Amino acid sequence: MTRFLMGTAALALSAGMASAEYTLHILHTNDMHSRIESINKYDSTCNAEGEAEGECFGGVARVKTAIDAKKASLDNQNVVVLDAGDPFQGSLFYTTYKGAAEAEFMEQMGYHAMAVGNHEFDDGPQGLADFIEKVSFPVISGNLDLSSSDELKGKVQNHVVLEVGGKKIGVISALATDTVETSSPGPNVVFQDEIEALQADVATLEGEGVDIIIALNHVGLNKDLAIAEAVDGIDVVIGGHSHTLMTNGDDETPAYPEMVGDTPVAQAYAYTKYLGHLTVTFDDDGNVTASSGDPMLLDASVEPNGAFTSRIAEMGAPIEEMKTRVVAEAAEVIEGGRDTCRAQECAMGSLIADAMLDRVKDQGIEIAIQNGGGIRASIDAGEVTMGEVLTVLPFQNTLSTFQVPGSAIVAALENGVGQIEDGAGRFPQVAGMSYAFDTSKPAGERISDVMVGGAAIDMDKIYGVVSNNYVRNGGDGYAMFVNAENAYDFGPDLADVTAEYLAEKGPFTPYTDGRITAK
């Protein structure tokens, strides 16, 4: 029988005696974000036509195939399978099953440990507790004080020790402390400093004779690199949260792994598109002597696991029905046509921008910007179904919050109206602000009368902005947002936010109010 034992205990994964040189294979995923079904090149759900044409990636059925194939090729010798958090949130499977689907498939994939991600708190501590009850592998996070949490006390462990090939492998973890702002952990989940907590867990494990320690974190690559530098005793860092693609042979991505001294740091993008495979060799004292690898792209060449595919289809049937669920009512047609939303203020653009701003207004956010090209349809008067909302917003974009100076806002607006003659999708629908533009002037000189909260924009002031993750990451020419301060790209799905706002305001009467004017 397979057993997971916490603290000083160990999990026997494979037999073998320790030798002067020991090699460990770490298979890892992160930020799967409920991509139970396969995805397209935009990281949203792929369809049957895409599968038939070989254009789909990932999905848990491909992850299952890849993990099984890797383990078989290694004869199951010294293999550990880890997830760095955030299997929750991002598809209708999560909306429907609230973590139960993720738990079912991850249980069958053979994970040995999972870090708590911030989105595991999206439905409060109870949502995470329910997930933990459904899996046999340990779910860990070492910088959470859960002593006052009735739901999670005793369920989330600080660390786990795995016995792999005769070696004790300690796995510790930290979760980003800003989870209190990006999710809903509630007042009884107390966050501790990541570095201090990890250092304390290293000391505990070293006191128990564990000399190989992996930090399985959900803090983002930059913080992972800082942790590798600051925390003595960590041998390997496997991360998530920043959705970073790390590959070799590509100047556009960080290397896989990034080395901080002798400590390899690795992450495997997101959305089930890749399976990370890091090979690490240790001497007899547990010191890293070599590390190598690359994430495996789970493209059409990877045959989805048949049993998983059948189960996904079974679980997906109610989701198709859910698309017909009425979520709101519209008093009139909500105009979201391409010609309108890419050229002027449109009712759908104002609705979406207002919904975005309403969701994050208590986070110090003042401005919302939505690219017109992300708006794909109008909604008829009468009952509004979730399927209609998903038709308007089909890309599974997430809310992104960040801070930039007023000068960047004006530059963003100039970009947004810079290709209006071509009907480009970058046209900016906004909330919390207003602006005017003049297409008789050259691109880059068209914006005027920018107001934020009723006052003229201050070019030097730092403003809080919400957009979608596509725009924040430079899509549609919004390069001025790529290096924004305090950027967080992984909020709730924009379609869900819009549907919930519609429901709150129903029956919804569409409007335009002059926030965008043409001169």
Residue 18 has pLDDT above 50, yes or no: no
Q: Are residues 313 and 377 in the same domain?
A: no
Are residues 294 and 423 located together in one domain of the fold? no
Question: Does residue 442 sit in the same domain as residue 368?
Answer: yes
Residue type, 221: L
Mean pLDDT of 449-473: 96
Lowest mean pLDDT among 230-234, 260-264, 321-325, 430-434: 321-325
pLDDT average, residue stretch 235-240: 98
- Whether residues 181 and 114 share a domain: the answer is yes
Same domain for 437 and 297: no
- Give me the percent of the chain exceeding a pLDDT of 90: 79
Q: What is the pLDDT of residue 9?
A: 35
1 inside domain: no
Domain carrying residue 339: 325-518
Q: How far apart are CA 308 and CA 38, in angstroms?
A: 12
Please say which residue of 261, 292, 317 terminates a domain: 317
Q: What's the rounded mean pLDDT across residues 340-349?
A: 96
Average pLDDT rounded to a whole number, residues 41-55: 87
* Cα–Cα nearest to 121, from 145, 91, 138, 98: 98
**pLDDT band with cut points at 50, 70 and 90 for residue 391:** confident
The last residue of one of the domains, among 275, 300, 317, is: 317
Residue 15 predicted with pLDDT over 80: no
Give the chain's mean pLDDT.
92
The position carrying tokens 């139970």 is 36
Q: Is residue 359 domain-resident?
A: yes
What is the SS3 assignment for 89-102? Answer: CCCHHHHHHCCHHH
Q: Is the per-residue pLDDT at 3 higher than 90?
A: no
Q: Which residues contact 485 (CB under 8 A, 6 or more apart)?
A: 402, 403, 404, 462
Whole-angstrom Cα distance, residue 359 to residue 308? 35
Tokens describing residue 61: 């059925």
The reply to whether 3 falls in a domain is: no
pLDDT digits (tens, 9 = 90+) for 93-136: 988 899 999 999 999 999 999 999 998 998 899 999 999 999 99
Instruction: Tell me if 420 is assigned to some domain.
Output: yes
Q: Higher confidence at residue 1 or residue 72? A: 72
Q: Specify if 225 maps to a domain.
A: yes
Domain assignment present for residue 115? The answer is yes
**Any idea what the CATH number is for the domain that residue 275 is in?**
3.60.21.10
Q: Are residue 298 and residue 331 in the same domain, yes or no?
A: no
**Residues whose CB is less than 8 angstroms from the CB of residue 321 and which lie 6 or more positions away in sequence, other chains included:** none
- Cβ 312 vs Cβ 36: under 8 Å: yes
Q: Is the pLDDT of residue 10 over 80?
A: no
Number of domains in the chain: 2
Alpha carbons 268 and 257: distance in angstroms, whole number: 10
Phi, psi of 416 (to 5 degrees): -65, -35
Same domain, 395 and 278: no
Average the pLDDT over 268-294 and give the result.
96
Residue 5 counted as domain residue = no
Element at 316 (helix H, strand E): helix 306-322
413, 437 Cβ separation under 8 angstroms? yes
CB 360 within 8 Å of CB 303: no
Q: Are residues 270 and 363 in the same domain?
A: no
Give which of 231, 172, 171, 222 is closest to 196, Cα–Cα: 231
DSSP states along 372-407: GGG----B-SEEEEHHHHHHHSTT--BEEEEEEEHH
Same domain, 390 and 487: yes
Pairing type for strands 144-145 and 190-191 reads: antiparallel
275/391 same-domain check: no
- In the 8-state DSSP scheme, what is residue 54? T
| 432 in any annotated domain | yes
Among residues 264, 296, 317, which one ends one of the domains? 317
Cβ-Cβ contacts under 8 Å for 518 (sequence gap 6 or more) = 344, 436, 437, 438, 439
Q: Are residues 307 and 346 in the same domain?
A: no
Note the pTM of the prediction, 2 decimals: 0.75
> Are residues 311 and 377 both part of a single domain?
no
Domain containing residue 383: CATH number: 3.90.780.10
Which is more confident, 395 or 29?
A: 29
Query: What is the C-alpha to C-alpha distance for residues 427 and 345, in angstroms, rounded to an integer?
Result: 9
Q: What is the pLDDT of residue 11?
A: 42
